[in-house]
């Protein structure tokens, strides 16, 4: 479903030299599977998620991104979103003055228009929002607030998954969705994510902790270090990392 | 003595319409305000007008009701545009506001240079609303002189809409006398012209008088809007709150000059002025000069000014969810500009101005 081939990417900061971050990432996530990516701070996990989503702050210098058989490397972020890519941000952004539901309805309809589908009606959308909010324990007061404004770290993560439920994307990239969530919230959010699991949907879950993976039960676990996937294994690999850390990959930076 | 300037055809035509006297001599000696005049350094009126056809026109004032009187009006000695408007615009239309009424004044010029003058009084205890709207057709100039006299305990709400007027020049010079214990709230929504200048000079009597001055502006390609506001606190215990927010795109230019002057007698003045500008691209420009000039020692005065670009992280976030870039920009710009308009207490007016802003944003992307 998603295939990342020899992906190289760098940032070109306003000051200073270009900095290579992704140095040949190879990864395949077939439909229906959940893959986890683990790796030390700064190894390029969030960068990979941004590059997948089409952030123009990163320059792809080599490699390809193939989604459902099509090269999406040249598409704008909104075009990738319309094809079904959803990124749950490690740091969700506050958007003052734009109410959450207004924003989401507009996003949903923009995606539908781009796909040539009929727009969702306001009553249907509100109904769906109520159902999904109830699943995640989100109050109607929270939905009225501007996008992410004034929410705690954990509330923001919860709202990201609420957005995913509302937009029902084909492919989810969860960038540390578990960080900031308390133990109970993590369970609720994981259940929300699991509700999205289906044979035609794929997920890439970036995390530092086993706890989320206990709930999500990934099919495959990848280790990323210094901008590359350095090891791939089954769910057990996460347990090994938990006990041994990333020390053995330290040489990968070379 | 400096030598008289060489007048443009536009200036010469204006001068010819004036009777011999101080104003004519001043115009012939110095020309119209230009960028080397400090107060006009960012709005080169002289150059903008030199490119307009030098023909006399007519200012059309469409009003919701007939004025109560007409009388000649002057302009302050240092305000040449207001003096020209008074001299060439015929008698001023005088409104004596009735309690509870809303008066609308729609000023426009279809061709040539049109001048006019309006006087509005709110007598003791009167609560009223005045809605003004200015526009000028391509090639035209609108020059209006507006004077407000607000008596003690009167309560004035002034709403100004300045329509985008490409290739036209709009100058509106307002003087307002805000008496002790009076209240005035002015809200402007402006879109600029080839050059538009909305100048407001307020004499603030204090003693419980309060002033609110808010404005939002959006200037696009080929448009320039200058909002200059001078508030002079003359008596003690007055309050002023100003919030201006503006966005410039596609080479548009915004100018904000705000000054709060606190005289020695105006102790316990409480004044705050804030301007924030959003530059939507590298071709656009916003110039701002907020100033406090304080001669009293027991006052609380503050001003703030910030210019910035669109929040790139927010833009990416919105696009990741599926919004097109122009739509995401429009939503962010709208929410940025909404704040001064949200201070309007009348919901219907607020919604109407927000709708105009929305339409303008949609037309821009
Ligand atoms: N815009 C940027 N400018 C400069 N450096 C950047 C930029 N974006 C990323 N980097 C650098 O690239 C490296 C990878 O960052 P990234 O955020 O992808 O790491 P990560 O694996 O997600 O880490 P964490 O586990 O802490 O979230 C880091 O060293 C970071 O400082
Ligand atoms: Mg990260």
pLDDT at position B4 over 70: no
Secondary structure (DSSP) of A60-106? EEEEEEEETTEE-TTS-HHHHHHTTEEEE-SSPPP-TT-BHHHHHHH
**Residue A43 in contact with ligand 1 by CB distance below 6 A:** yes
Mean pLDDT of A36-41: 93
**Residue A206 in contact with ligand 1 by CB distance below 6 A:** no
Contacts with A79 (C-beta within 8 Å, 6 or more apart), sequence order: A54, A72, A114
Strands B285-294 and B253-262: parallel
Residue A197 forms part of a structural domain: yes
Residue A107 sits at the chain B interface (C-beta within 8 Å): yes
Q: Closest Cα of chain B to A77: distance in Å?
A: 5
**Residue A132 in contact with ligand 1 by CB distance below 6 A:** no
**Residue A254 in contact with ligand 1 by CB distance below 6 A:** no
If you average pLDDT over each of A133-142, B174-183, B354-363, which comes out highest?
A: B174-183
Q: B61 vs B107, B109, B130, B144, B172, CA distance in Å?
A: 5, 9, 14, 10, 13
Q: Supply the pLDDT for residue A238.
A: 85
CA of A55 to the centre of ligand 1 (A): 13
Q: Number of residue pairs across A and B with CB atoms under 8 Å?
A: 74
How far apart CA A51 and CA A64 sit, in angstroms, is 11
Q: A91 vs A40, A177, B118, CA distance in Å?
A: 17, 9, 55
**Residue A13 in contact with ligand 1 by CB distance below 6 A:** yes
For chain B, where are the alpha helices, taking DSSP H only? Answer: 9-17, 22-30, 45-50, 80-88, 312-320, 325-342, 347-364
Chain B CB contacts of A107 under 8 Å are 318, 321-323
pLDDT at position B335 over 90: yes
- Index of the ligand 1 atom closest to the CA of residue A21: 12
Identify the CATH number of the domain in which residue A220 sits: 3.40.50.300
Q: Supply the pLDDT for residue B2.
A: 57
* 3-class DSSP state of A202: strand
pLDDT tens profile A76-89: 999 999 999 999 99
How far apart CA A230 and CA A27 sit, in angstroms, is 11
If you average pLDDT over each of A141-155, A225-239, B62-76, B274-288, which comes out highest?
A: B274-288
Query: By CB neighbour count within 10 A (0-12 exposed, 13-18 middle, 19+ buried), where does A69 fall?
Result: exposed
Q: Closest Cα of chain A to B316: distance in Å?
A: 7
Give which of B307, B314, B255, B258 is closest to B282, Cα–Cα: B307
How far apart CA B42 and CA A174 sit, in angstroms, is 49
* Domains identified in chain A, total number: 1
How far apart CA A47 and CA B188 sit, in angstroms, is 44
Mean pLDDT of A90-111: 94
Chain A CB contacts of B309 under 8 Å are none
pLDDT at position A14 over 90: no
Q: Supply the pLDDT for residue B204.
A: 98
pLDDT band at A252 (very low <50, low <70, confident <90, very high): low
pLDDT at position A251 over 80: no
Cβ(B133)–Cβ(B160) under 8 Å? yes
Secondary structure (DSSP) of B284-304? -EEEEEEEEEE--SS-EEEEE
Q: Supply the pLDDT for residue B1.
A: 46
Are A81 and B321 an interchain contact pair (Cβ–Cβ within 8 Å)?
yes
CA of A77 to the centre of ligand 2 (A): 19
Residue A228 forms part of a structural domain: yes
Burial A141-158, CB ≥16 within 10 A → b, else e = ebbebbbbeebeebbbbb
pLDDT tens profile A181-220: 888 888 888 998 899 999 999 999 999 988 899 999 999 9
Residue A149 sits at the chain B interface (C-beta within 8 Å): no
Record the tokens describing residue B189, joined without a space: 């929504």
**Phi-psi region for residue B321, left (φ > 0), alpha (ψ -120 to 50) or beta?**
alpha
Q: Supply the pLDDT for residue A241.
A: 86
Q: Closest Cα of chain B to A126: distance in Å?
A: 18
Q: Tell me the pTM.
A: 0.90
Mean pLDDT of A51-58: 95
Chain B CB contacts of A111 under 8 Å are 322
Residue A196 forms part of a structural domain: yes
How far apart CA B281 and CA B248 sit, in angstroms, is 8
CA dihedral (A139, A142, A144, A147) positive or negative: negative
Cβ(A115)–Cβ(A78) under 8 Å? no
Q: Closest Cα of chain A to B342: distance in Å?
A: 11
CA of A175 to the centre of ligand 2 (A): 7
Report residue B236 CA to chain centroid gap: 26
Residue A254 forms part of a structural domain: no
Select from B317, B322, B325 the Cβ nearest to the Cβ of A95: B317
How far apart CA B219 and CA B221 sit, in angstroms, is 7
Which ligand is the nearest neighbour of the Cα of A37? 1
Select from B316, B331, B336 the Cβ nearest to the Cβ of A77: B316
Q: Supply the pLDDT for residue B197.
A: 98
Secondary structure (DSSP) of B60-101? EEEESS--SEEE-----TT-HHHHHHHHHS-SEEEEEPPTT-
E-strand stretches of A80-219: 85-88, 171-175, 202-206
> Which residues constitute the domain of residue A144?
2-249
Residue A38 forms part of a structural domain: yes
Return phi, psi of residue B62, to 5°.
-105, 125
Chain B CB contacts of A78 under 8 Å are 319-320, 322-325
Residue with tokens 């609560």: B127
- Tell me the CB-side half-sphere exposure of residue B33, using CA atoms within 13 A: 19
Nearest CA in chain B to A82: B322
**Residue A42 in contact with ligand 1 by CB distance below 6 A:** yes
- Index of the ligand 1 atom closest to the CA of residue A227: 14
Are B319 and A82 an interchain contact pair (Cβ–Cβ within 8 Å)?
no
Mean pLDDT of B126-135: 98
């Amino acid at each position: 479903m998603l295939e990342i081939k020899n992906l190289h990417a760098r940032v070109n900061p306003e000051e200073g030299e270009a900095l290579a971050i992704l140095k040949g990432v190879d990864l395949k996530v077939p439909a229906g599977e959940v893959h986890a990516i683990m790796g030390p701070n700064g190894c390029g996990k969030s960068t990979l998620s941004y590059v997948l989503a089409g952030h123009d702050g990163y320059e792809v210098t080599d490699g390809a991104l193939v989604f459902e058989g099509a090269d999406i490397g040249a598409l704008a972020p909104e075009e990738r979103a319309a094809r079904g890519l959803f990124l749950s941000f490690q740091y969700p952004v506050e958007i003052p003055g734009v109410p959450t539901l207004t924003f989401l309805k507009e996003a949903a309809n923009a995606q539908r228009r781009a796909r040539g589908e009929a727009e969702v009606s306001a009553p249907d959308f509100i109904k769906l929002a109520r159902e999904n909010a109830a699943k995640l324990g989100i109050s109607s007061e929270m939905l009225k607030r501007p996008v992410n404004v004034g929410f705690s770290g954990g509330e923001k993560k919860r709202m990201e998954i609420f957005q995913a439920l509302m937009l029902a994307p084909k492919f989810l990239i969860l960038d540390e969705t578990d960080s900031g969530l308390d133990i109970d919230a993590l369970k609720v959010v994981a259940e929300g994510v699991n509700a999205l699991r289906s044979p035609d949907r794929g997920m890439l879950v970036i995390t530092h902790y086993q706890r989320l993976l206990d709930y999500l039960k990934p099919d495959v676990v990848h280790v990323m270090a210094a901008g590359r996937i350095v090891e791939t294994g089954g769910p057990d690999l996460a347990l090994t990392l938990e006990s041994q850390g990333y020390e053995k990959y330290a040489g990968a930076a070379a | 003595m400096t030598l008289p300037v060489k007048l443009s055809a536009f200036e010469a035509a204006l001068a010819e319409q004036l009777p011999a006297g101080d104003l004519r001599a001043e115009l012939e000696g110095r020309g119209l305000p230009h960028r080397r005049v400090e107060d006009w350094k960012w709005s080169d009126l002289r150059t903008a007008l030199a490119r307009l056809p030098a023909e006399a026109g007519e200012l059309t004032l469409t009003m919701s009701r007939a004025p109560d009187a007409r009388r000649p009006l002057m302009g302050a000695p240092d305000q040449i545009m207001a003096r020209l408007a008074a001299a060439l615009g015929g008698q001023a239309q005088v409104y004596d506001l009735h309690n509870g009424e809303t008066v609308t004044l729609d000023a426009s010029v279809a061709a040539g240079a049109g001048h006019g003058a309006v006087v509005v009084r709110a007598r003791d205890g009167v609560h009223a609303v005045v809605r003004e709207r200015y526009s000028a057709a391509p090639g035209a100039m609108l020059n209006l002189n507006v004077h407000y006299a607000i008596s003690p305990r009167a309560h004035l709400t002034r709403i100004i809409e300045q329509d985008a007027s490409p290739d036209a020049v709009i100058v509106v010079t307002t003087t307002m006398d805000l008496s002790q214990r009076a209240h005035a709230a002015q809200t402007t929504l402006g879109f600029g012209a080839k050059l538009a200048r909305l100048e407001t000079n307020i004499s603030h009597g204090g003693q419980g008088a309060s002033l609110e001055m808010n404005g939002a502006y959006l200037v696009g390609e080929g448009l320039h809007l200058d909002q200059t506001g001078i508030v002079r606190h003359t008596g003690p215990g007055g309050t002023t709150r100003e919030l201006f927010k503006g966005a410039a795109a596609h080479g548009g230019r915004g100018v904000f000059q705000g000054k709060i002057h606190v005289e020695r007698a105006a102790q316990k003045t409480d004044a705050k002025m804030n301007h924030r500008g959003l530059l939507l691209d590298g071709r656009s420009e916003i110039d701002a000069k907020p100033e406090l000039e304080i001669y009293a020692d027991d006052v609380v005065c503050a001003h703030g000014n910030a210019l910035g670009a669109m929040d790139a992280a927010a833009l990416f976030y919105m696009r990741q969810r599926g919004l097109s870039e122009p739509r995401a920009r429009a939503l962010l710009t709208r929410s940025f500009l909404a704040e001064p308009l949200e201070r309007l207490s009348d919901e219907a007016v607020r919604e109407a101005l927000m709708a105009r802003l929305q339409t303008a944003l949609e037309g821009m992307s």
